Amino acid sequence: MLTDSRNTLRSQRRPGSNVDEHRVQTLLSHPRARAFLMLDESALLLLNANSTSASLDMSVASAMLYKQLHGIWAVTEAKARMIPLVFFCGQHREWGDAYGWPLALALSLLLQLGDKLGDYGADTLGAVFDDFAPDDVGSIVVAFGKLIAVLPQTVIVTLVVDGLRCFEHPPERQRGMVQVIEGLTSTYDAGSRARLKFLFTNSTRVAFVEHLFSRDAGEVLDMPRDPRPSGRW
């Protein structure tokens, strides 16, 4: 949800904020992060900021990456259509939050995508929503994949899910989170005519979903705990 991104960016200006702006800029300037932003190809990345669990550095960097990603491709691809999808788990960690479960995360991404389809796959949209169970994570991620599959090559889908460990506990929430991330990475792996930029981030290592990404393929980026000054690598 775009409101999540705006709220996260506002957090760095609040009194007592624990955001390290130098570290945020260092995260944004990492060569792998820059490549994710700039290369004219689909990309999948799990980014571990390797900071403290209470730090908002990664979330602020994720919001800024999302904003930059959207801005860069909106300018350089005048004929392309951007479809931005975003969810910040840290904004919904409380038990009473209606969006505080993986089911809500998956449904939010599906509804964001469906809302932005426009004329693309209008027939598919109706069929998908007639044939899925809104209370079943597996059904939702399958529907998400079906909508991605009908997008043409003129579309760029930018997806950012931040704060994965906020949905790590209790065990049933973790299981649901694994199912959502597995569904999204499977959608990416299935290929698409559209360009897909899928970014998953957390302030600390997210061991419970790392197996869904390939280190050999460069899909996991562990930031150093003490990055070099001024973002030099």
Domains and CATH numbers, the chain: 36-223 (3.40.50.300)
pTM: 0.85
Nearest to residue 48, comparing CAs of 165, 158, 143, 133?
A: 165
Most confident of 19-23, 33-37, 85-89, 102-106: 102-106
Residue 11: which H helix or E strand, with range? helix 2-11
What pLDDT is attached to residue 18? 62
What pLDDT is attached to residue 199? 93
Q: Are 70 and 82 in contact (CB under 8 A)?
A: yes
Query: Which residues fall within 8 angstroms of residue 230, CB to CB, at 6 or more apart?
Result: 26
Q: What distance lies between CA 201 and its chain's CA centroid? A: 7
Bridge partners (DSSP) listed for residue 119: none
Q: What is the largest CA-CA distance in the chain?
A: 53
Quick one: pLDDT band at residue 52, thresholds 50, 70, 90?
A: low
Average pLDDT over residues 157-165: 92
Quick one: pLDDT band at residue 50, thresholds 50, 70, 90?
A: confident
- Which has the higher per-residue pLDDT, 231 or 127? 127
Average pLDDT over residues 2-20: 52
Quick one: pLDDT band at residue 45, thresholds 50, 70, 90?
A: very high
Query: Which residues fall within 8 angstroms of residue 38, CB to CB, at 6 or more apart?
Result: 72
What pLDDT is attached to residue 28? 78
What pLDDT is attached to residue 231? 47
Residue 19 has pLDDT above 70, yes or no: no
Name the percent of the chain lying above pLDDT 90.
Answer: 43
* Pairing of the two strands 220-222 and 195-202: unpaired
Between CA 229 and CA 46 the distance in angstroms is: 23
Residue 232 has pLDDT above 80, yes or no: no
Quick one: pLDDT band at residue 210, thresholds 50, 70, 90?
A: very high
Average pLDDT over residues 45-62: 74
Backbone angles phi, psi at 113, to 5 degrees: -65, -45
